[in-house]
Structure 1
C-alpha cells in the first residue's frame, strides 16, 4: 500500500495499544504538528487510525487581575475606605470616600458598579452607606484571584477549586483569560495494523503548487495530496459593527420608513436648551450638580436668541395664558447659559421647534434622533452614565394620546414587540404624560422603556409653536434587552461587556 510520506511516518509511529497525542507524534517523526494533524485526519478517513478528542481549558491572570490580587479589588478598597469614613453608622459623601480609597480613573467606576452588586452597601444620591457585616476578605472573586496569583502560571481549569460562576464573572471583568485547546490522541485500528503487517511505502505526492511546477509542466504528471477541508484552522475574530449600533441603524430605518426626518445637534449644550425651554424649573432637583455633568471649559454659551430667552423666562415666572401661574421660583439667565452634557435629546427638539436649528417649521412635521445622552445615575443592570435615547416628536393639529399610543404600537411591532403597557406619569414639559413598559422575554418582568406625552403650552408658546406636539424619549439599550433577552446592559458595552456574547448574537430583522 502506498501512502504520502507524512502518513507513512505517522502510521509507523502510532501504536495500537497506547494512545499518542499529535504533539508526541510530531516530536517522534520530526514533522510539524500541523502536518501530523493533516495526516492523522486522512488516515482516520481511510480507517487506519482512530482519533480521540478532548478539550483542555487553562486559565491565566491578566495584568489587571494580577494587580487586584496584590492590592485588592476596587470595590473592596472602596468598602474599606467607606468603613474608615464611618459609613457603617451614617451615610457619608461619596467624594471623600473615593479620595480615601486611592482609586483613580476607570477603577472608580469599576468600584461603584460592583459595590452594590456584592451587597457591601448602598450608593444613593452621592452618599454611601456600608454594611458592617460584609467580609471583603472572603469575596469569592478576590479569593479566586489570589489563588491564581499563588500558582503564578497557566492553570488547568479542572485543577482549580473555584465556582464556575465566579470564573465567568472574572472573565467578563477582564481579570482572567481562558484558553481552550483541543488535544487529539491517536491509536492504530485493526485495519491500520493489518496494512502495516502487509507493508506500506511512501508515494511521491505534491502538497503545494509552485511556480516552478507550473512553468516546467511537471504538474501534469504529479500526484497531488488530498486537501482536508475539515482540518482545524486558527480562529480569527475580525472587526464587526456593534450590535447596539446595528440596532440603532435599524431604528433609524424604521422611523424614516414611518415618515420621520433625523435631527442632529450638540452633545454639550446650554442649560437653556436642555431644560429651560422644556419648562423645567431652575430649582428642579434634576438640575443640581449631582445629576448633571457640567463643563469646566467653556462654562457658558456665548449666544442665545434674546427674544426667545425673554419668552422662556416669562413663562417660568408668570406662566402662559390667562390662567398661567409659572413657577414663582428664581430664574437666572447666567444659569441658563451654563453648559452641560445633555441629559436627554429633547434639547434637539427644543432647538428644532424654536426654528433656531433649521428655520421655522410648518405643521405637519415628524422628527427623530438616536443619540447619546449623559446622566449622573447609579450604575446597575438598567442604568448607565451614558446611553442612547430614541427621541421623536410629531407636530400637527388636534393630536391626542390615541395617536401617540398608536405610534408606539406601530414602532415596536417592527421589532416583534406587541405587549407595550402604559402608565400615567408626571413631566414638567408634557401633559398628559405616561411611561412605557415592555415584558422582558427571559425574566418576565416589566422593564421601563421610555417616557412620553403631549408638550405643554408653557413649553410650546415661547417656542412659537401654535399647534399640538406629541413627543417621546425611548431607551435604545432597553429595546435591545426586550429583543435579545439581555438582563444587564453592562454586558453589551462598557468595561464589563461580554465580547463572546456580542460576537455570537445575531441581529434579527
Structure 2
C-alpha cells in the first residue's frame, strides 16, 4: 500500500490500544494541527483509522472576572466596607459605604444590584445595613472565579455559571476534542508495510511548463474535513438597522435631514424652549467645546426666541422669567439630540422655506454625558422625525409610530404620558425586549408647543419624535446590552452572527 507522506506519518503515530488526540499527533509528527486533522479524516475514509469527537464545555475568565479575583467582587467589598463602618448595628449612608469600599462608576451599580440578591444585607431610603450572619467567603460565585483563575474545574451548579456568564465575568464556550485509534485494517496495513508516495498538492507553473504534471500523483482533497473558521467582513448590525430605518421612513414619504454635529446652544436647546438654567444644559450633561461662538444666527430669529423665553409666545404664553444670555446661546457644544436639525429645517435656514405638509427625518449620532449602563452610552444614534401639517393630533402621531414599528415586526408599542419643555402633549414609547421580557424605553415624542414653532415662523402643527436606534436594534436582534452593539466592550461573536429581524 502506498500513502502520501503526511498520511503515513499520522498512521504510524496512531495506536490500536490508546486514543491519541490530534494535538498529540501534531506534536509527534511535527505537522500543523490542520494537516493532521485532514490526514486523519482521509485515513478514516480509507478505513484505517477511527476518529471520535468529544464535546467539552469550557469556562474562561474575562478581564473583568480576573480583576475581581484579585480585588474581590464589588458586592463583597461593599459588604466588608459596611461591616467596617458598623452597618451591622445601625444603618449607614449608602454613599459613605460606597466610598469606604472604593467603588465608583459601574462598579458601584454592580455592587448595589448584587448586594441584596446574595442576602448580604438591605438598602432602604439611601441607607445600607449588613447581615452579620452572611458569609461572603462561602459565596459560590467567588469560589467559581477563584477555581477558574487557578486552572481548576469549578464544581458548581449550572445556575452559578449562568449568573457569572450573564455578568460578563465568565465566557462559556465549547471545545471539541478529536481522537484517533487504529482500526484492524490500519494495523494490518502497518504489519504488511506501507510505502510513502510522492504526491503534489497543487499544480504549479513549473509543473505545467515542464510537463511533469502528467507523471506526478496528486493529493485528494477531502471537502468534508474541518478547516479553520474564516470570518469575512459584513455590514454592522447597527448600520443594517439604520439602513432599514431610512428605507422605511422614505417609504412613508419622509425626506432626510443633515447638519453639524457641533452646533450652537441656540439651535440645540434655545429654539426648543429649553430654559438656559435647565439641569440638562449644564456641564453635567453637555459636552461644551472650547471654540469661537457662532456668529451666523439670524438676528431677528434670535430676538424672537429670546422673547419666547422671557415673555412667552401667543396669548397664553408666559415665558420662564429666568436668565437668558445671548452669549450662552452662541456657545458651541456637541449636539445632545438631532432636534437641532429640525430647528434648522423648520426655520428655513436649512432646506429653504417649507410649506405644509412636510415630513423630514434623520438618523444621526448625538452626544450626552450619561452614566454608562446596558441602555446608555456617551454617544449613540437618534432617529429624529417630524411632520408639519394642519390639524395634527396625538392620534396621528401614535398611528405614525404604529406603522413605523410594524415594519420591524413590533406591534406591542406602549405609550406613557410625559413632560417635555418643548412639546405638549408629550409621551414616551416603550417596547418589550424579545429575550428578557423587560419593558425598555425606546423614544420620546409629542406635538411642538407654540413657543417652539412660533418664533420659527411656523403657523401650523408639527408633531415630532426622537427614537433610539440602538434600542430598536436591541428589540430586533435580541441584544441585552447596548455595549454589545458598539464600543470597546462590543461582543464580536454576537456582531458576526446577529441578524436584524423585520
- The more displaced of 158-167 and 111-120 is 158-167
The match for 2:20 is 20
Tell me, which stretches of 5 or more residues in structure 2 are unaligned?
118-124
How far apart in 1 are the matches of 2:438 and 2:416?
Answer: 15
The match for 1:429 is 422
Aligned-pair Cα RMSD in Å = 3.8
The match for 2:181 is 187
The match for 1:260 is 254
How far apart in 2 are the matches of 1:91 and 1:30?
Answer: 61
The match for 1:453 is 446
Task: State the 1:78 CA deviation.
Answer: 9.0
Contact 1:369 1:390 in 2 (8 A): yes
**Kindly tell me: are residues 78 and 372 of structure 1, through their superposed partners in 2, closer, same or farther at Cα, counting changes over 3 Å?**
farther
Partner secondary structure for residue 23 of structure 1: helix
How far apart in 2 are the matches of 1:397 and 1:78?
Answer: 58
How many residues were matched structurally? 488
Whether 2:3 is the aligned partner of 1:3: answer yes
How far apart in 2 are the matches of 1:194 and 1:327?
Answer: 97
Task: State the 1:77 CA deviation.
Answer: 7.7
**Kindly tell me: are residues 145 and 220 of structure 1, through their superposed partners in 2, closer, same or farther at Cα, counting changes over 3 Å?**
same
The match for 2:240 is 246
The match for 2:476 is 483
The match for 1:272 is 266
Whether 2:339 is the aligned partner of 1:346: answer yes
The match for 1:124 is none
How far apart in 2 are the matches of 1:60 and 1:229?
Answer: 32
**Kindly tell me: are residues 489 and 213 of structure 1, through their superposed partners in 2, closer, same or farther at Cα, counting changes over 3 Å?**
same
- The more displaced of 67-76 and 296-305 is 67-76
How far apart in 2 are the matches of 1:83 and 1:460?
Answer: 57
Q: Which residue among 461, 475, 492 is the counterpart of 1:499? A: 492
**Kindly tell me: are residues 43 and 79 of structure 1, through their superposed partners in 2, closer, same or farther at Cα, counting changes over 3 Å?**
same
Correspondence list, 1:133-172, <5 A? 133=130, 151=150, 155=151, 163-165=160-162, 167-168=164-165, 172=168
The match for 2:374 is 381
Whether 2:43 is the aligned partner of 1:40: answer no
How far apart in 2 are the matches of 1:93 and 1:375?
Answer: 28
Task: State the 1:166 CA deviation.
Answer: 5.5
Partner secondary structure for residue 245 of structure 1: helix
Contact 2:259 2:341 in 1 (8 A): yes
Correspondence list, 1:32-431, <5 A? 32-55=32-55, 69-70=69-70, 89-90=92-93, 101=102, 109-111=105-107, 114-119=110-115, 131-133=128-130, 151=150, 155=151, 163-165=160-162, 167-168=164-165, 172=168, 182-197=176-191, 199-290=193-284, 292-295=285-288, 297-298=290-291, 300-431=293-424
Partner secondary structure for residue 201 of structure 2: coil
How far apart in 1 are the matches of 2:85 and 2:263?
Answer: 37
How far apart in 2 are the matches of 1:28 and 1:252?
Answer: 58
TM-score (normalizing by structure 1): 0.81
Task: State the 1:184 CA deviation.
Answer: 2.0
TM-score (normalizing by structure 2): 0.82
Task: State the 1:310 CA deviation.
Answer: 1.2
How far apart in 2 are the matches of 1:69 and 1:461?
Answer: 60
**Kindly tell me: are residues 357 and 72 of structure 1, through their superposed partners in 2, closer, same or farther at Cα, counting changes over 3 Å?**
farther
Partner secondary structure for residue 349 of structure 1: helix
How far apart in 2 are the matches of 1:404 and 1:55?
Answer: 53
- The more displaced of 407-416 and 356-365 is 356-365
Task: State the 1:501 CA deviation.
Answer: 1.7
Task: State the 1:297 CA deviation.
Answer: 1.4
